[in-house]
Structure 1
Amino acid sequence: MGKGYNAAIAANPYIVGTFACIGGGLFGLDISSMSGVLNNPSYLRVFDHPGPNAQGAIVASMPAGSLVGALIVGKLADRIGRKKTIIISGIIWVIGSILQCASINRGMLVVGRIISGLSVGLASATVPLYQAEISAPSIRGRLISFQQWAITWGILLQYFVQFGCSYINGVASFRIPWALQMIPAILLSSGMMFFPESPRWLIDHGRDEEALQILADVHGKGDAAVPLVQLEYTEIHNQVKFERSEGSKSYVDLLKPGIFRRVGLGMSLQMWSQLTGMNIMMYYIIYVFQGAGLTGTRGNLIADSVQYVLNVALTVPAIIYIDKWGRRPMLIIGLTLMAFWLFLVGGLQSRFGHWGLVSGSEVWVISDHPGLTKFIIVCSYLFVCSFAITMGPVSWTYPAEIFPMRVRAKAVSLATATNWVFNFALAWAVPPALASIGPKTYYIFGAFNAAGLIHVLFMFPETKGCTLEEVEEIFGQGHVFDAWNINSNVKKSLEEVLAQSEGKSEKHSGSMDEKYVGDDKS
């Protein structure tokens, strides 16, 4: 333990690459911590029956805190390290959970959620950054995708805890789930103490010997003489030296040619992941199913739980095949399907629905059409499946792999902050929207998916299987609106270079792909 981490843990690439994903699980825990109590009588009584605007503000307080957390990651993760930032995020989550659990009014609840949101913002930006810098290049895309899977597990576990506690009478029905969500954060903060720091951050801070030993433990089974370890160490060291010669790192670097476009792509992808409407389905699924004509608290909770199970299950194929299917096809197919399901549900709601009273509130609802109610619920499930197997994992993987190391912390921080800006806005705006424009809400999100599809088609180049040279060439050509041709042309132009390099790569215990795929030099 003199190393500051457990070498046996570091030797397992999947443990090193996935444990920090518990930080993503905190995001999922928070999502369903609210969706499971929206029609809880004790929750409504304690917090004075919040209306659409008030409930939207309560839910939106968490992404508001997350925005702040994501914005400060760029400085914090560069100053104290990736590992310590993740540990701090777990500690902050515990503080926020205590306040939520003990809250007796809306103000106290909002403060607790803001603090928890600060934790989620830190974790959601730092975890992919840490994974990208410490995971083996050949499995980096897969391991970063585990971030999304952890989110889905957090949603599922918290929701079932909420469902079980719904049988308890009184405030314990919502306070117990809010208290239990501290356990994963405690595991995260205590467990990360046994994990290594990012070797790239260590070299950047003059701790070369520690970095070399970590690279040896993670990629060379403890042997620093392994050629791949020596090569990676030399490359990182040379890269840091080059960056220092370029001057101090700042947010101004994000505006430089070759970087600015990538910042725009990373931010817009996180924006589209929110504008698909997926997290709204997670936050407010009870309202959605009520509008479809599903009544009764127990029946609604059971129907909701199916959606959360599907969310977990359908993320698995994406994790397994993301490096085979490619980022562009997954995004294009996912956005197309999600737009279709939303336009279909919106059309059915408009045709067969009407304004009516449900639990004392006026909502757009379908009544006396049990078959149609079931069909809309199925469409909602298919929407969730479409997101889980496409946009969900790619939205975390793509931003983490397109930036050079020099600006990665700040660029990923900015991209993640964009996620939280739109999460905050939508979480607050959707309840009033459902209460005022009803089915037109589905049309709006369907249009967002269609717009995202067009954006991806013309401006998002493929990064699957690209070596560092190919990624730099892709974003160095300057062709903004011809994404598919950019990638194919780069592949073709570098084919001979890669073939010639094969012999050299074999001498260093790995092919070009093993060594460079997903690497993060600039």
Structure 2
Amino acid sequence: MAPNAVKNADGANAYTELMDPQRTWYNNRRLSRLIILNAWIVLLEIQTSTASGYDGSMMNGLQSLPQWESYFNFPTRGKLGLLGAIQNIGSLAGYPFTPYLCDGIGRKPTVFIGALLMVIATAIQTAAQSVGMFIGARFLVGFGLTFAASASPMLIAELSYPKYRAPLTSTYNSLWHLGSIVAAWSTFGSFKIQSTWAWRIPSVLQAAPSVVQVFLIWFVPESPRYLVRKGKEAQALRTLAYYHADGDEMDPLVRYEFEEIKAAMDFDRTVSANVGWKAFLSSKGNLKRARIIIAIAFFSQWSGNGLASYYLNKVLSDIGITNPTTQLLLNGILSIWSLICALTASSTVERFGRRVLFISSACLMTVCFTMQTVCFARFTITGDNNAAHGVIAFIFLYSAAYNLAFSPLIVTYALEILPYNIRAKGFNIFNITISVALVFNQYVNPIALAALSWKYYVVYCVWLVCECIFLYFYLVETKNHTLEETATIFDGEDAREKIVGTAATHAGMAAKGVEDQGEEEKGSTEFVEIA
């Protein structure tokens, strides 16, 4: 059965013929195991991605609270930019350590460390007595979030049942909007409190996901790929079998997964010397990977989305909507709309493929953002209220376009094109790029908006066209490929023979061994009966 998997590698996922068509998350022989696995994955998704989304939306909402503005002496321009950017500066400080923790002590302990730091940071943030204390706490928020947000998506991708890996990993980043929704409506709900608790309550609620994660992360299984890398092959095989095949270690799917993981690691370690930071310069395949992950990371933050994500209140004020209640209400509705769009797109990633979604998203963003710029300019020049309403409409349409690919796919795509031995380091490069882009955006955007108004939008219009061109020429399709199979796309035919071929051969031999053993047992039983 396993050798057939190789035949499918170019078209469908190599696991396709090995997966039991009757085994779905709601219908398998031992229903509880796959449900439990998916429950742990949902925990990782909600607790980590939601915490990240909560922070961005909370800062957006706090800027509309007079209680927060007056307490911190009405921050503007540079100080406001620092308040927005400091969380990502904290993230940058954590990135040098994350790949070594993820690969050294494991994905689970790294998530725990990040969650614990987040709990401490939000406690300090809630108790802040000065703008300096608030900034310091937000730095620590970013520092802690780095560890959890680096390890969680890798653990999700490496644990998931093959059939659900892409949708589940795509859902991870999409749930950023769930945190955004909770934060937006928390600030809306606390708006009427006439004390500092108007902003302290949303701040303390930010700790909730991390508190849950601190206590529950220890029940989540460790990544089988990490276990294989550390020489714990028996434990890795048990984990795969328990969650992917109802405990059957000789299941064809489990044997193929296990052998493919081992073959991929052997190839990376002994054939291509695909280890360490120098690996990103050691081959054309890795250079392609680095170029793509850096590009999509920049695109995810430099597409104009940072204006509505972090400074929506400033944008609304510029088009004449200055009522704090209206601003908070629009922020909350936009968060719900974005979540719906992102989750819908997450369910289609294996149907339409990565290239179609990315290119369609970039083209639609270009159109919507250009129209948003036109409406903004018209309002500024003529004061036409209809143009202001047009800006709001195109903000919502732009959000739908952005969430077609850039919310669900950037993490999924970055992880699946990186082989295990450089996955933590490559994902670290991806996250560093995002943080650098965010620091620039969050610090520069309020200054540029105050100085240039609608003219600043033109910069993003031009940049979006450049994104469309890059994605068309350089993005590689990875639809229906396993994590290990993508090496055959970037590293050539040698990788295909070493990884896919070796895995199929070893899995086939294992399956044949079970059949032979079964025949021997059968013969032995018959002899006893005859005797």
TM-score, reference length from structure 2: 0.84
Unaligned runs of 5+ in 2: 1-30, 513-531
Residues 307, 381 of structure 1: 8 Å contact kept:
yes
Residues 70, 124 of structure 1: 8 Å contact kept:
no
> Structure 1 residues 468 and 306 mapped into 2: Cα distance closer, same or farther (>3 Å)?
closer
Q: Distance in 1 between matches of 2:95 and 2:373?
A: 34
Task: Tell me whether 1:52 sits opposite 2:80 in the alignment.
Answer: no
1:209-220 equivalences under 5 Å are 209-220=234-245
Residues 122, 204 of structure 2: 8 Å contact kept:
yes
Among candidates 43, 49, 52, match of residue 19 of structure 1: 43
Task: Tell me whether 1:375 sits opposite 2:390 in the alignment.
Answer: yes
Residues 272, 448 of structure 1: 8 Å contact kept:
no
Task: Tell me whether 1:136 sits opposite 2:161 in the alignment.
Answer: yes
Q: Distance in 1 between matches of 2:35 and 2:511?
A: 20
Which residue number corresponds to residue 488 of structure 1? none
1:246-395 equivalences under 5 Å are 249-257=275-283, 258-353=285-380, 367=383, 369-395=384-410
Q: Distance in 2 between matches of 1:245 and 1:125?
A: 26
1:49-128 equivalences under 5 Å are 49-128=74-153
Q: Distance in 1 between matches of 2:119 and 2:482?
A: 40
Which residue number corresponds to residue 439 of structure 1? 454
Task: Tell me whether 1:166 sits opposite 2:191 in the alignment.
Answer: yes
> Structure 1 residues 475 and 239 mapped into 2: Cα distance closer, same or farther (>3 Å)?
closer
The size of the alignment, in residue pairs, is 472
Instruction: For residues 442-483 of structure 1, give each alpha carbon's deviation from its aligned partner in whole angstroms, at most 9, with x where no partner exists.
Output: 1112222211111000111111123578633432469xxxxx
Among candidates 166, 170, 176, match of residue 151 of structure 1: 176
Q: Distance in 2 between matches of 1:298 and 1:171?
A: 17
Instruction: For residues 323-342 of structure 1, give each alpha carbon's deviation from its aligned partner in whole angstroms, at most 9, with x where no partner exists.
Output: 11111111111111111122
Task: Tell me whether 1:205 sits opposite 2:230 in the alignment.
Answer: yes
- Aligned partner of residue 420 in structure 1, secondary structure: helix
Deviation of 1:243 (Å): 4.4
Q: Distance in 2 between matches of 1:213 and 1:11?
A: 17
Q: Distance in 2 between matches of 1:352 and 1:23?
A: 39
Deviation of 1:244 (Å): 4.5
- Aligned partner of residue 222 in structure 1, secondary structure: coil
Please give the root-mean-square deviation of Cα atoms over the aligned residues, in Å.
2.6
Instruction: For residues 181-237 of structure 1, give each alpha carbon's deviation from its aligned partner in whole angstroms, at most 9, with x where no partner exists.
Output: 111111122121111000111121122222121111121112223222223223323
Q: Distance in 1 between matches of 2:330 and 2:147?
A: 32
Deviation of 1:508 (Å): 6.7
Identical amino acids, percent of aligned pairs: 26
Amino acid at match of 1:82: R
Query: Rg: which structure is higher?
Result: 2
Which residue number corresponds to residue 523 of structure 2? none
Residues 10, 196 of structure 1: 8 Å contact kept:
no
Residues 225, 236 of structure 2: 8 Å contact kept:
yes
Amino acid at match of 1:309: I
TM-score, reference length from structure 1: 0.85
Unaligned runs of 5+ in 1: 1-6, 355-365, 479-492, 510-522
Deviation of 1:138 (Å): 2.0
Residues 379, 385 of structure 2: 8 Å contact kept:
no
Amino acid at match of 2:465: A
Deviation of 1:125 (Å): 2.0
Residues 11, 221 of structure 1: 8 Å contact kept:
no
Spell out structure 1 runs of 4+ moving beyond 6 A: none
> Structure 1 residues 205 and 352 mapped into 2: Cα distance closer, same or farther (>3 Å)?
same
Amino acid at match of 2:42: T
Q: Distance in 1 between matches of 2:485 and 2:438?
A: 33
Task: Tell me whether 1:465 sits opposite 2:477 in the alignment.
Answer: no
Residues 73, 122 of structure 1: 8 Å contact kept:
yes
